[in-house]
Structure 1
Amino acid sequence: MVSKPKQRGFHGQGRVLFLLSKHENISQRELASLAQIKPGSMTEILTRMERDGLITRQRDVSDKRVIHVRLTKAGTELAKENHQRHQWFCKTLFGTLSDEEKAELNRLILKIDQNIKNECLKNKEGENSHA
């Protein structure tokens, strides 16, 4: 039996850690856009992460409105731990499925996801037509 890695962090942080591990020295605005998190919420998340020593923020020298975000060594380590925890979770959840079953599950999830997106778009268009 594989032992479960210890969980650390708070809501929203995992996605931010993952994105920062893939995009070095990204601007705070770009990060919020990639994470699909409102700028104000991103500021809160980054403030906590900076307080916890997981990231650094630095103003751009040529454009003081731009703030660049980077992982610290502790942030990089936590991103690795999160990745290992994610791998453990996937192995635990899907480990008994065959490759064919995994492909079919993925196909069905994508179909459901597309249906949800279509319904949300219909609802949004309906709201706009009543305005």
Structure 2
Amino acid sequence: MNKPKDEPGLQTILSHCGRNLEASGGYVNVPPYEGSTIIHDDMDDLFGRVDNHLYGDGTARTYGTDGGPTHEAFYEAMNKLEGGVGTWAFSTGLAGCTIPMMAFLKTGDHMLVTDSVYGPTRQFCEVLLKNF
């Protein structure tokens, strides 16, 4: 099936997604932002940002590990490429496997895990997760 004429092709999408000229200062790519501490004007500013982060549109920065312009560019690119509406990245594969379990499972739930699951994930399930 052919795509509509006004829809960009894959190569165009690949060369443009994740680009934000405002965030990058006009450079092709958003530069890497490495930092943890975000400066706030005062406590009201901090609390307002936390409320935005938790209950608003999530655009307010509260702490560096919550993400920054580099993360946002990556998430935007992944959403565009994968057709997603939300993306999150983790620092390790094990974190990517275990954090969703901690977020969605509760006491008394059952989860099926394949025999071929990543070894550290199996250990997490058999040693730590079963205690919860």
Higher helix proportion (structure 1 or 2): 1
How does the TM-score come out when normalised to structure 1?
Answer: 0.24
The structure with higher relative contact order (CA 8 Å, sep 6+) is 1
Q: TM-score, normalised by structure 2?
A: 0.24
